[in-house]
């Protein structure tokens, strides 16, 4: 029996809704997958995820390998049992950290080069922790990391990544890839892509066949490389596909890359755009055929005081966010978002949440994370509905102001 | 109409169960009151409190006066509306901070002198923040504080404390008192007590008559002073009584103080032992006629990794706590406490919680606080039941190993 089934339900102008079925249940697509880096969606618990309607989560192989260790998790019955969660779990391959701790730190960039301080928070964070030093080194065998906790060298190879993910026992796993930087030149990007292709074949060989393996398309911002990579990966027996790596120098580059890559991927398999999840991106990427997204944005922005608001207050210019610390919220008795039905918006005022944020109260992090995740998951519900009933462009216009 | 009604339900060997009725509903006694210092029980939310069965909470006047400001809270409709909570709320008077930021820091002690590092966490905390400097100065008019945020001088007087608590709109308020140190000599303690008595009369005059005012008995560890104070306060028209200040140099001193004071307080009014809440203390102090407790212990210990366990694993020697960081929990699939029915114990293993604690994950703080508060509230339910059915000493024996 295949570890993953994907059924397409409705289609509309190149977009589709579907259901992915795994050993641990189903999730509907297009889907936004909350990130549980260290086996927890930061500041939230399992009951929250249930209530929020999160049907699937993504945990990070690199982080769990270091802490608490994938061997320990295996011993305790795997990630589902360890987390006490009975939903599909995705793990990434650790390849992204080869970038974020390597070129990401060296070049000071994120997945898209032009907005590092807005979108590339992961890198800003790492830089703040590790003082700009490079912590990952790639060669043809794999990646060597310095463990930030112990200072020891950690090696990840395609085989090792498959072993770790097998220990974790996740439902959907990713092939180990090299994620290049938007500042990598074409020569380097091509070399990294060839390496990623060799690694993809190793992963196909070594992975636990009870897990659904997704291949990752690389090739940076270069059309011929992206097309070559898409064809190479599409031909192989993967359960689905990730679109990874550098997504160019602007959001438009990212959309171009999707327009090159998606048509080359087999229609009957799900497509996951790795690490992307801003409101505007969800519309534009679903429109180009993406089925799955994961991103730390909702919870990370929440912790930093940025809370999502819907139109008309939210718009592409303010990225659908208010910053709760702003003094204009000091006496504001309104909920974060008047259109939101989450318990945070039903219970608390902006003035109260501002107080908690300013006082650095732990409760703030939970309430803010809850709201932001609720907001994005509900938006995804709406997008899914709009594909079903053909109103996608009306919804997009309402949110983005353009089609 | 009186702002507080107290009905005694059952009595057993000097102990009693009862119901306190306020403008915002009722709570049953003996009661453990969770502390919501800055208008939030740290790391928890209102739904948690509801689910935990917390019938009343206590917020801190001093903290809320500084941040976000009692005027702001008044403008937003008072503390209940600000917090979105419809339960009785108690506020303290700010007097304790005159101690903890004054003599507490100067003497390096808590409410009981011999176990500062175990019980006087508040002081340890303040000292860590303020480096041993004294931040509060008392004279006959009141107390002058340095605001740790702005560095400005903040003055609290009996009248000012009543005004702030009126702005907060809490249901039960405390008279402004001077809490002495266990290292204060008798002369100073007597002087502070006389001051507290004058302030008590000012508070009776100035307080908002819609709020139930509790007087506070002082007098340190000196029997004649405690008895004098108890008689003075007991004669006045307070809705209830706090037993405050220095509780001596050992737990036995604290119990002696209760044995001197409680018999002098009118039976028909509730008695609140301020700032005490360890498991052993709850038994011993209920036994001596205490109706109400408040303490940051359950949530503060939780945040530091100390999680409550019931007998036989929990006992007076380990203070009914395990420290989750201990390596023996690394692979422990058991819940924190096998007798506990809280959702944390129903869902997560010690191994998982240890991982969250070691990784400094925000979710840890919530789950740990939830369990510890659940534990103490359930224990208090048990104590209340045991008074009802006359099995108090059996329960005490089961937990403490002695009667």
Among B237, B272, B295, the domain boundary falls at B295
Same domain, A257 and A361: no
Residue A282 inside a domain? The answer is yes
Task: Answer whether B42's CB lies under 8 Å from B30's CB.
Answer: no
Cα dist. B58→B39, B44, B89 in Å?
9, 14, 6
Average pLDDT over residues B276-299: 97
- Residue B166 predicted with pLDDT over 80: yes
For position B43, what pLDDT does the model report? 98
Summarised one tens digit per residue, pLDDT across range B292-331 is 999 999 999 999 999 999 999 999 999 999 999 999 999 9
d(CA B359, CA A109): 26
CB contact under 8 Å between A84 and B349, yes or no, is: yes
Cα dist. B231→A21, B200, B224, B235, B265 in Å?
73, 13, 11, 6, 7
For position A380, what pLDDT does the model report? 98
Average pLDDT over residues B337-350: 98
- Split at pLDDT 50, 70, 90, the class of B150 is confident
Same domain, B72 and B202: yes
Verify whether residue A147 is a known catalytic residue: no
Average pLDDT over residues B89-107: 83
Task: Answer whether A398's CB lies under 8 Å from A384's CB.
Answer: no
Q: How close A45 comes to chain B (CA, Å)?
A: 7
B327: exposed, middle or buried (C-beta count within 10 Å: 0-12, 13-18, 19+)? exposed
For position B133, what pLDDT does the model report? 65
Q: How close A358 comes to chain B (CA, Å)?
A: 9
Is the bond into B164 cis (omega within 30 degrees of 0)? Answer: no
Among B273, B295, B317, the domain boundary falls at B295
For position B112, what pLDDT does the model report? 75
For position B303, what pLDDT does the model report? 97
B153-156 vs B143-146, strand pairing mode: antiparallel
Summarised one tens digit per residue, pLDDT across range B239-271 is 999 999 889 999 999 999 999 999 999 999 999
Which residue in A has a C-alpha nearest to residue B45's C-alpha?
A: A363
Count of C-beta atoms within a 10 Å radius of residue B289: 21
For position A120, what pLDDT does the model report? 36
A107: exposed, middle or buried (C-beta count within 10 Å: 0-12, 13-18, 19+)? middle
Query: Which one of B362, B367, B373 makes the best mutation probe of the A interface by having the most chain A beta carbons within 10 Å?
Result: B362
Mean pLDDT in each 10-residue stretch from start to end of chain A (403 residues)? Answer: 95 97 98 98 98 98 95 98 98 86 75 49 40 76 85 92 98 95 92 97 98 97 98 98 93 97 98 97 98 97 98 98 98 98 98 98 98 98 98 98 95
Same domain, B221 and B118: yes
Summarised one tens digit per residue, pLDDT across range B365-396 is 999 999 999 999 999 999 999 999 999 999 99
For position A129, what pLDDT does the model report? 45
Note whether ipTM > 0.90 here: yes
Q: Which domain holds residue B326?
A: 309-400
Which residue in A has a C-alpha nearest to residue B351's C-alpha?
A: A82
Q: Residue B39: which of B18, B9, B69, B11 has the closest Cα?
A: B69
Residue A304 inside a domain? The answer is no
Same domain, A74 and A165: yes
d(CA A23, CA A46): 19
Residue A301 inside a domain? The answer is no
The residues, any chain, with a CB within 8 Å of residue A148's CB and separated by 6 or more, are: A66, A129, A130, A135
Same domain, B247 and B112: yes
CB contact under 8 Å between A40 and B361, yes or no, is: yes
User: Mapping DSSP to helix (H, G, I), strand (E, B) and coil, where does residue B10 land?
Assistant: strand
Q: How far is CA A387 from the centre of its chain?
A: 22
Among A295, A328, A355, the domain boundary falls at A295
For position B122, what pLDDT does the model report? 40
For position B152, what pLDDT does the model report? 86
Same domain, B391 and B271: no
Can you give the CATH number for the domain in which A208 is found?
A: 3.20.20.105
CB contact under 8 Å between A38 and B361, yes or no, is: yes
Residue B176 inside a domain? The answer is yes
B249: exposed, middle or buried (C-beta count within 10 Å: 0-12, 13-18, 19+)? middle
B141: exposed, middle or buried (C-beta count within 10 Å: 0-12, 13-18, 19+)? middle
d(CA B233, CA B231): 6
For position B117, what pLDDT does the model report? 35
Partner residue opposite A366 with nearest CB, options B45, B333, B352: B45
Residue A303 inside a domain? The answer is no
Same domain, A383 and A287: no
Chain B residues with CB inside 8 Å of A303's CB? Answer: 362
Same domain, B227 and B369: no
- Residue B111 predicted with pLDDT over 90: no
Same domain, A196 and A339: no
Residue A85 inside a domain? The answer is yes
How many folded domains does chain A comprise?
Answer: 2
Same domain, B171 and B52: yes
Same domain, B337 and B198: no
Same domain, B125 and B42: yes
Residue B304 inside a domain? The answer is no
For position B359, what pLDDT does the model report? 96
């Amino acid at each position: 029996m295949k570890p993953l089934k994907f059924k397409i339900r409705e289609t509309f102008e190149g977009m589709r809704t579907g259901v992915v079925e795994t050993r641990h249940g189903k999730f509907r697509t297009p889907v936004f997958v909350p990130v549980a880096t260290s086996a927890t969606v930061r500041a939230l618990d399992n009951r929250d995820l249930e209530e929020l309607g999160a049907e699937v989560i993504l945990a990070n192989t690199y982080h769990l390998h270091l802490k608490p260790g994938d061997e320990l998790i295996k011993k305790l019955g795997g990630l589902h049992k360890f987390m006490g969660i009975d939903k599909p779990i995705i793990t990434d391959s650790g390849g992204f950290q080869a970038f974020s701790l390597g070129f990401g730190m060296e070049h000071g960039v994120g997945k898209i080069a032009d907005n590092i301080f807005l979108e590339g928070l992961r890198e800003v964070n790492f830089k703040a922790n590790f003082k700009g030093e490079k912590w990952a080194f790639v060669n043809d065998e794999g990646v060597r990391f310095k463990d930030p906790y112990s200072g020891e060298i950690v090696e990840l190879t395609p085989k090792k990544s498959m072993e770790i993910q097998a220990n974790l026992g996740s439902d959907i796993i990713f092939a180990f890839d090299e994620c290049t930087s938007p500042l990598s030149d074409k020569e380097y990007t091509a070399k990294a892509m060839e390496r990623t292709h060799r690694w993809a074949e190793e992963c196909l060989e070594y992975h636990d066949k009870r897990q659904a393996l997704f291949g990752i398309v690389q090739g940076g911002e270069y059309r011929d490389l992206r097309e070559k990579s898409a064809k190479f990966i599409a031909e192989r027996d993967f359960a689905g596909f990730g679109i990874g790596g550098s997504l160019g120098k602007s959001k438009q580059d990212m959309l171009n890359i999707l327009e090159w890559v998606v048509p080359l991927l087999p229609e009957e398999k799900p497509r996951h755009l790795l690490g992307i999840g801003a409101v505007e991106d969800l519309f534009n990427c679903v429109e180009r055929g993406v089925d799955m997204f994961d991103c730390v944005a909702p919870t990370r922005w929440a912790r930093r005081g940025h809370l999502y608001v819907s139109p008309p207050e939210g718009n592409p210019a303010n990225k659908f966010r208010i910053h709760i610390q702003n003094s204009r919220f000091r006496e504001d008795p309104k909920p974060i978002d008047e259109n939101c039905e989450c318990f945070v918006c039903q219970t608390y005022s902006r003035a109260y949440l501002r107080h908690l944020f300013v006082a650095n109260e732990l409760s703030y992090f939970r309430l803010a994370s809850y709201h932001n995740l609720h907001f994005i998951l509900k938006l995804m519900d709406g997008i899914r509905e709009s594909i079903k009933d053909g109103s996608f462009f009306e919804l997009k216009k309402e949110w983005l102001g353009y089609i």
